[in-house]
A = this chain, B = another copy of it.
Amino acid sequence: MTDLSPAIERKTRDSFARQSLMATFGASIGLLAPGTCTVVAPILPLARQQHGVGHAGLTFALGDTAAGYAALTLMPEESEVMTVEMKINLLAPARGDRLIAEGRVIRAGRRVSVVTTEVFAEKADGRDLVAILQGTMVPVTPRDRT
C-alpha cells in the first residue's frame, strides 16, 4: 500500500473538519490511509438512546463517515464524496469508553465505490463489535453539486 498523497490527506481532513455533526459527537479521524479511514468518538451523554447507550444514529454517523472518507482517499483529487446508500446491522449495544469505526473500500470504481465499516465499542477489558455497515459511495465534483 502506497502512502496517501498530501493533497488527498489534506482534502479529506479539511472535509471532515467541516462536518459539524462530527464536532458535536467529539469525533476525530484516527488512521487514514489509501482505502481506509478510522473515525473515533466518545459516547457522549448527548448521543444516547432510551436505555442510556449510544444511539444507532451515532453508530451510523461514525460508520458512514469512516466509509465515506475511506472512499474519498481513492477518488480523484478534485472529487468530493457522497453516500448513495448504506446498510447497518446492529450487533450489540454501543456501551463503553468510545466507538471506533473502521471504514474500508471493497471496490473503488470510477462511478461507484463499495465500502464497509466495522464499528467497535472499546472498554477497559477489550472491544466489542457493535455494528457492521455496507454501502455505496459516489465521487462528486463541484459541477455535480450545482
Q: B-contacting residues of A (Cβ < 8 Å)? A: 15-16, 18-21, 23-24, 45-51, 55-58, 60-62, 64-65, 80, 82-92, 106-107, 111-112, 114, 116, 129, 132, 134-136, 138, 144-145
Given contacts A20-B48, A57-B62, A83-B90, 15 further A-B contacts (CB under 8 A): A18-B50, A18-B51, A19-B55, A20-B47, A21-B48, A24-B47, A84-B90, A84-B112, A91-B106, A92-B107, A106-B129, A112-B138, A114-B132, A116-B132, A134-B134
Contact (Cβ within 8 A) B16 A50: yes
A84 to B84, CA, bound (A): 10
A62 to B56, CA, bound (A): 10
Contact (Cβ within 8 A) B61 A134: no
Measured between beta carbons, the chain B residues less than 8 angstroms from A80 are 50-51
Measured between beta carbons, the chain B residues less than 8 angstroms from A20 are 45-48, 55
**Chain B, Cβ-Cβ closest to A47:** B21
Measured between beta carbons, the chain B residues less than 8 angstroms from A64 are 56-57, 60
**Chain B, Cβ-Cβ closest to A63:** B57
Contact (Cβ within 8 A) B138 A111: yes
Contact (Cβ within 8 A) B21 A57: yes
